[in-house]
Structure 1
Amino acid sequence: MDAALLHSLLEVNCSLALAEELLLDGWGPPLDPEGPYSYCNTTLDQIGTCWPRSAAGALVERPCPEYFNGVKYNTTRNAYRECLENGTWASKINYSQCEPILDDKQRKYDLHYRVALVVNYLGHCVSVAALVAAFLLFLALRSIRCLRNVIHWNLITTFILRNVMWFLLQLIDHEVHESNEVWCRCITTIFNYFVVTNFFWMFVEGCYLHTAIVMTYSTERLRKWLFLFIGWCIPCPIIIAWAISKLYYENEQCWFGKEPGDLVDYIYQGPIILVLLINFIFLFNIVRILMTKLRASTTSETIQYRKAVKATLVLLPLLGITYMLFFVNPGEDDLSQIVFIYFNSFLQSFQGFFVSVFYCFFNGEVRSAVRKRWHRWQDHHSLRVPVARAMSIPTSPTRISFHSIKQTAAV
């Protein structure tokens, strides 16, 4: 092959070293320049591998990159790409044989990341199981379907959907991530939408308590549609604006991940931070009212208010801290980074479990309704005699729901 012709075919970003290598090796079969689809032109992929002019239908191999993202790779292995019959390169490139060469420190971090990934999968599985159980309880127990529990139900629903989308994100391999497929971008967009709805429904939780306690507004006059609009509808334009910005300014890598200095992700992260700050203000006012005006009161309603605040005080910092960790630099020392990896993995993955426990399984109304439903089922099947029912111990007042604002009617 003529050297001048080969050089003219190589793109600017492909090195002369490749051209010399091809010439020395006498590379490639003779190509028919008259054929409409006889070859694929030289091209450079996103990783930086130069794919030379190749015959249509050929499976081309190139050495793995020496360095990628600061990691050294074994160049004795090869990557593979097919030149299609129509004279275009296949979008999918097989880099599966390329393995990193790790030093002792990198091996240690790789081990911790693998363990953290197991923690993530375990936490999300436990969370999904608990969330689905809580969702089904709220669905089955119609007697407790007041506005407060409807809010809990919607919060749990957002966590179920978010966790499902998280599992779908884990199915995206590196090649799809790099090729930036449309369906991959859609999954990332839907996942981020449910992330935003998580925090907006937590905001609805705080707004409900603040309205009932601080503003002393009758909860019976609150409208369910307003909270549904805040929790489900307001995040829509936020995510749409983010998706449009990603499409025009950062249309790469399935829109997942954030490089230092990129501001597009703050389109949806900003509102999340805002509602977190507002929720902290709500809780500050709620605690202030309870400590001053309601301290001496021992009414059942006051006790229920206090329990509701306790649950929210536990959950809101939990949800807020886990998100704020993404903005915190864990430090340069090894211990800080390892602690950050495990702490963040645990809190992120078990969020749904904690939500289910505090808003459903520890909810006195739910437990009371389940107990009554169980007693009714036993009576119906003649498994519980009337004498035993009469001698049963009544429910203790101390087991009232964390969130019971008003006593719900019995089943």
Structure 2
Amino acid sequence: MMNGTLCDELYKNFNYSINEDYCRHTFDNELCWPPTKAGTNITQLCPRKKGTDVTKLAYRICTDDGQWDYNNKSDMKEKGYTYYDDCFLPRLRDLINMCKAMEFETCLKISTRTRQIEMVGLSLSLISLVISLSIFCRYRILKNNRTKIHKNLFIATLLQVVVRLVIYIDQSLEQRIIENVPYLCEACYVLLEYAKTTMFMWIFIEGLYLHNIITVTVFQEYSYMKLYFWMGWAIPLLMTAVWVFTMVFAVDNIGCWYLYYFLPYYWILEGPRTAVILVNMLFLLNIIRVLIVKLRQSHTSEIQQVRKAVKAAIFLLPLMGIANILFVVDFRLFKSAWKFALWSYTTFFVTSFQGFFIAVLYCFVNGEVRIAVRNSITVYMSLRNHNGIPRRNSAFVSGVTAMEPEQ
């Protein structure tokens, strides 16, 4: 590995022309630059670093007086300045330029606060999803096809939340274990993207299920559950496999697929996710149209239940779509710190609290869930109260102790 000592050793016997001025060799902590004639530029391939394109060129300028150009940076006057601008990935370069314009300290503060919002949102989502899954698994009355779809959505979202928390916690440690273990970091990001894709697919299935119930005259929902299962877990697996295959063979991996979401190959996953949101929006519009007609004709309990499910979808689907659209917004749109802060806080608030929103909409405010939990609490309180009263004769009726009056 190159360092200052090796660089000095490499050019200690360099033959300088007597009649020409030279900028002396130097090491800029990344590359060793050879002696260069005054008034010329010198280029080298970019170093293998995270976020760089090793096929691009970095360069230095040797001025006419035989001194390295230092780009008006006083701390670089002695060794000179290396222009690495072209080395960075385009989206990363935009981000760096934006942070330069608003000062790096401000940019860092916004990033730190954003990560704090994410940790709160992910933690709350984790707790909410675990509680929701426990409720759906505990009560038999909630075991139907609609709640099976909900549970799969919860599992997919929970998987994403857990992986993201593990990655973030590892990044906060002084010794980043995941990043330093070969292939473990890439495996974590593959699992994360698979979980994200399954979450979007199960949201699509939620919309498809509602659409079929409302619009299909004879809908055999039981016969479709296996198809839904394969759609929810197998199709995302195939999409993720295609993306991984592309990344392995098309990207020069210099460590953990750094900033992989800035690469065009990310649209292998992001494109279908966005398409899923758009199709679900179309489903939702048609569902609302048909539901309005049916509500005028009938007010059965089944229609009322579907209407409640549609209300949840009306809130959730635009929320997921907004998060997806905001995440791919070009950084170059932000010319001031407050705009970047607003984008950052809004985008990552929505994405990190997704699990919480899903748990609230499909579990905590679900009428069936509330009735099941309320009945369970009533039974528990009744049993507790009766167990505390002396009695001679008792009988259990429907799982609740009932006292018999003395004759």
Both structures adopt the same fold (TM-score exceeding 0.5): yes
Asked whether the 8 Å contact 2:190–2:244 carries over to 1, the reply is yes
User: Residue 360 of structure 1 aligns to a residue in which SS?
Assistant: helix
Q: 5 Å matches for 1:234-383?
A: 234-250=235-251, 251-258=253-260, 262-329=263-330, 331-334=333-336, 335-383=338-386
Deviations 1:265-296 (A, max 9, x none): 11111221221121111111101111234334
Distance (whole Å) between structure 2 residues aligned to residue 317 and residue 9 of structure 1: 68
Contact 1:162 1:195 in 2 (8 A): yes
Q: 1:147 corresponds to which letter in structure 2? A: N
Partner residue, 2:104: 106
Deviations 1:335-359 (A, max 9, x none): 3212101111211111110100000
Give the aligned residue type for 2:384: H
Query: Post-superposition shift, 1:384?
Result: 8.7
Structure 1 unaligned residues grouped into runs of 5+: 23-43, 49-66, 76-100, 387-411
Match of 1:166 in 2: 164
After the TM superposition, which residues 208-223 of structure 1 pair with which residues of structure 2 at under 5 Å, given as runs? 208-223=209-224
What is the rounded CA distance, in whole Å, between the counterparts of 1:113 and 1:352 in structure 2?
Answer: 22
Q: Which amino acid aligns with 1:333?
A: K
- Secondary structure at the counterpart of residue 333 of structure 1: coil
For 1:160-199, list aligned pairs within 5 A.
160-170=158-168, 171-172=170-171, 181-199=182-200
Cα shift readout 1:113-171 (whole Å, capped 9, x = no counterpart) = 21111111111111111111111111111221100001011111111110010012221
1:16 aligned partner: 25
Cα displacement (A) at 1:2: 12
Describe the shift of the 1:361–1:252 C-alpha distance in structure 2 as closer, same or farther (beyond 3 A).
same
Aligned residue for 1:264, secondary structure, equals helix
- Cα deviations by residue, 1:199-227 (Å, 9 ceiling, x for unpaired): 00001100100111012333544432111
2:177 and 2:160 map into 1 onto residues whose CA distance is: 21
> Partners of 1:3 and 1:125 in 2: how far apart?
49
Range moving further from structure 2, 291-300 or 210-219? 291-300
Equivalent residue for 1:145?
A: 143
Measured in 2, the distance between the counterparts of 1:73 and 1:167 equals 41
State how far apart, in whole Å, the 1-side matches of 2:311 and 2:269 are: 29
Deviation at 1:47, TM superposition (A): 6.9
| Whole-angstrom CA distance in 2 between matches of 1:3 and 1:113 | 37
Aligned mate of 2:10, from 6, 25, 28: 6
Question: Does the 8 A contact of 1:214 with 1:286 survive in 2?
Answer: yes
1:112 and 1:338 in contact (8 A); partners too = yes
Write the distance in 1 (CA, Å) between the matches of 2:127 and 2:75.
Answer: 42
| 2:123 maps to amino acid | C
1:154 alignment partner in structure 2: 152
The answer to whether the 8 Å contact 1:245/1:264 transfers is yes
Q: Could you tell me whether the CA contact under 8 Å between 2:50 and 2:255 is conserved in 1?
A: no
**RMSD between aligned alpha carbons?**
3.8
Letter in 1 for 2:291: L
In the TM superposition, what is the alpha-carbon distance from 1:327 to its structure 2 partner?
2.1
User: How far apart in 2 are the matches of 1:47 and 1:273?
Assistant: 28
Aligned partner of residue 349 in structure 2, secondary structure: helix
**TM-score normalized by the length of structure 1:** 0.68
Rate the CA distance shift 1:382–1:216 in 2: closer, same or farther, 3 A.
same
Shift of 1:241: 0.9
Distance 1:104 1:244, change over 3 A: closer
Rounded Cα–Cα distance in structure 1 between residues aligned with 2:6 and 2:368: 84
Cα distance between partner residues in 2 of 1:218 and 1:366: 24
Q: What does the per-residue CA deviation read over 1:68-100, in whole Å, with 9 as the maximum and x for residues that have no partner?
A: xxxx9988xxxxxxxxxxxxxxxxxxxxxxxxx
CA contact (8 A) 2:49 2:254 kept: no
TM-score (norm 2): 0.68
Q: 2 CA distance for matches of 1:247 and 1:298? A: 56
Cα distance in 2 for residues equivalent to 1:112 and 1:226: 44
Contact kept? 1:189, 1:243, Cα under 8 Å = yes
Q: CA deviation at 1:16?
A: 3.0
Tell me the matched-pair count: 315
Local SS of the residue matching 2:385: coil
Change (3 A) 1:105 1:315: same
Structure 1 distance, partners of 2:191, 2:243, is 12
Which secondary structure does the structure 2 equivalent of 1:223 belong to? helix
Task: Give, as a single letter, the amino acid of the residue that structure 2 aligns with 1:230.
Answer: M
CA-CA distance at 1:255 after TM superposition: 2.3
Aligned-partner residue type, residue 375 of structure 2: K
1:204 correspondence with 2:205: yes
Amino acid at match of 1:275: V
Structure 2 alignment gaps of length 5 or more:
15-23, 33-46, 52-69, 77-98, 390-407
Q: Would the aligned equivalents of 1:156 and 1:356 in 2 still touch at CA under 8 Å?
A: yes
Mapped to 1, the partners of 2:386 and 2:220 lie a distance apart of 40
